Amino acid sequence: MTAAAALSLPPRLAQYYALTKPRVLQLIVFCALIGMVLAVPGWPSGGQLLQMLVACLGIWLVAGAAAVFNCLVEKTIDSKMKRTAWRPTAKGQLSDVQALLFSGLLCLAGSVILYVWVNPLTMWLTFATFVGYAVVYTLLLKPRTPQNIVIGGASGAMPPVLGWAAMTGNVGPEALILFLIIFLWTPPHFWALALYRVEEYRKSGLPMLPVTHGNAFTRLHVFLYTLVLFAGCLMPFVYGMSSWIYLTAAVVLGAGFCGYGYALWRHYSDALARKTFRFSLIHLSLLFAALLVDHYVIT
Run of H or E including 115 = helix 96-117
pLDDT digits (tens, 9 = 90+) for 229-284: 999 999 999 999 999 999 999 999 999 999 999 999 999 999 999 999 999 999 99
The whole-number pLDDT of residue 77 equals 84
Q: How far is CA 173 from CA 108, 205, 239, 243, 296, in A?
A: 29, 39, 9, 17, 20
- Helix/strand/coil percentages in the chain, nearest 5: 80, 0, 20
Q: How many CB atoms neighbour CB 125 within 10 A? A: 20
Q: Quick one: pLDDT band at residue 144, thresholds 50, 70, 90? A: confident
The pLDDT, as a whole number, for residue 1 is 42
> If you count them, how many residues does the chain have?
299
32-36, 147-151, 187-191, 229-233: which has the minimum mean pLDDT?
147-151
* Per-residue confidence (pLDDT) for residue 20, from 0 to 100: 92
Amino acid making up residue 8: S
Question: What percent of the chain is predicted at pLDDT more than 90?
Answer: 72
pLDDT of residue 2 exceeding 60: no
DSSP letter at 42 equals: S
Q: Report pTM.
A: 0.91
For residue 159, pLDDT over 90 is answered with yes
Question: Does residue 63 surpass a pLDDT of 80?
Answer: yes
The per-residue pLDDT for 299 is: 56
User: How much is the mean pLDDT over the chain?
Assistant: 92
Measured CA to CA, the distance from residue 245 to residue 294 in angstroms comes to: 6
Q: Taking residues 200-227, what's their average pLDDT?
A: 93
Percent of the chain clearing pLDDT 70 (strictly above) = 96
* pLDDT tens string 78-114: 888 887 888 888 888 989 999 999 999 999 999 999 9
> How does DSSP classify residue 298?
-
- Sorted by where each begins, the domain ranges of the chain are 10-170, 172-299
Could you say which architecture CATH assigns to the domain 10-170? Orthogonal Bundle (1.10)
Determine the number of helices (DSSP H) and then strands (DSSP E) in the chain.
Answer: 16, 0
78 vs 174: CA distance, rounded Å: 37
Whole-number Å distance between alpha carbons of 36 and 55: 9
Residue range 16-37: average pLDDT?
A: 92
